[in-house]
Amino acid sequence: MPAQLREVRRRIASVKSIAQITRAQELIASSRIVRAQQRMRAADPYARELTRAVEAVISRSNSVNHPFTTERPDPRRAAVLILTSDSGFCGAYNANVLREASRLRGLLAERRVEPVNYVVGRKGIGWHRFREIDLADEWAGFSSTPRYEHADEVAAPLIAAFQSEDPAERVDELHLVGTEFVSMLTQRPVVRRLLPLEIEDTAEESPQGPLPQYEFEPAPDLVLDALLPQYVTSRIFFALLEAAASELASRRRAMKAATDNANDLLENLTREANNARQAEITQEISEIVGGANALAAASAGSE
């Protein structure tokens, strides 16, 4: 019985240490997610206005035949940019993104399009290396606090591959697999095609109001040459910010669940320790009473 009580107390100490760690991780994520949301809101106006500028150039031009806006016949290769986290303790965040990326690769294989993988985040890099999946490029170290220069660093090889004239290096499409931040409780994996741009003809007015009237000098194609790389970079940057906020929200939720489970386990272990202690005390009392009775019986027999 004493050995059982020592084992329970050792487990209680271990669970308390785990609960302290998960609680600390929860508080850290809670403090950082506010800043991540603020960065998302700060980046949104620039991304929105840049998108409107691209829409205005395309809609006000009679004929725009730009490589970034033209569907390529018989596409052979597609770049897949996958955004994962550098660290764990974030529940199913990475598993959901990697599952969505695998699904996208399956759809590309059905179209006989070869996927070219680009991965952000140590978890995604490790997942692909373990399965011996080739990576065209990889980045790590900034998943929770991305900056615009990180997005520029990621976008540069993707744009270069899309514009390449070498068939062995050129990609015909660019897809992004990330996580959409809906709320503190809801984050869902999404797949977005960045290139070529999907252009839809519609007579409905934009919900943000009429598009601005631009005068293009010297030509719309040259304006798009300058705008579209910035547009792709801004889309990647905003996706990185969304992924960072989603990662922190997932970590906060996962660590809260872990802390609650640890507290429930502590209650059960404490109850088990009390029962073991009571049984130990009862056994000791029984041994004392039994010994006293034996001594009394021996004394009575000797008399």
- State how far the alpha carbon of 72 is from the alpha carbons of 77, 86, 160, 196, 286, in Å: 11, 35, 16, 8, 88
Distance of alpha carbon 164 from alpha carbon 174, whole angstroms: 13
Question: Cα–chain-centroid distance for residue 175?
Answer: 17
Query: Residue 47 pLDDT > 90, yes or no?
Result: no
Task: Evaluate whether 238 touches 78 at the Cβ level (below 8 Å).
Answer: no
**Predicted pLDDT of residue 208:** 57
Distance of alpha carbon 155 from alpha carbon 138, whole angstroms: 12
**Predicted pLDDT of residue 236:** 95
Least confident of 15-19, 62-66, 169-173, 231-235: 62-66
Percent of the chain with pLDDT strictly greater than 90: 43
Domain regions of the chain by residue span:
61-250
Q: With bands split at pLDDT 50, 70 and 90, how would you rate the model's confidence at 237?
A: very high
Q: Looking at domain 61-250, which CATH architecture does it have?
A: 3-Layer(aba) Sandwich (3.40)
Task: Evaluate whether 60 touches 212 at the Cβ level (below 8 Å).
Answer: no
Query: Residue 1 pLDDT > 60, yes or no?
Result: no
Query: Residue 213 pLDDT > 70, yes or no?
Result: no
Least confident of 57-66, 154-163, 198-207, 249-258: 198-207
Query: Residue 63 pLDDT > 70, yes or no?
Result: no
Enumerate the active-site residues.
90
Distance of alpha carbon 247 from alpha carbon 86, whole angstroms: 10
**Predicted pLDDT of residue 184:** 86
Distance of alpha carbon 44 from alpha carbon 47, whole angstroms: 5
Q: With bands split at pLDDT 50, 70 and 90, how would you rate the model's confidence at 207?
A: low
Burial of residue 47, with CB atoms counted within 10 A of its CB: 0-12 exposed, 13-18 middle, 19 or more buried: middle
Percent of the chain with pLDDT strictly greater than 70: 87
Least confident of 29-33, 142-146, 239-243, 290-294: 290-294
**Predicted pLDDT of residue 66:** 74
Task: Evaluate whether 200 touches 117 at the Cβ level (below 8 Å).
Answer: no
Least confident of 105-114, 222-231, 281-290: 281-290
**Predicted pLDDT of residue 205:** 58
Task: Evaluate whether 200 touches 105 at the Cβ level (below 8 Å).
Answer: no
Closest-CA residue to 30 (of 240, 187, 249, 180): 249
Least confident of 66-70, 116-120, 131-135, 160-164: 66-70
Query: Residue 224 pLDDT > 70, yes or no?
Result: yes
Distance of alpha carbon 183 from alpha carbon 194, whole angstroms: 24
**Predicted pLDDT of residue 278:** 79
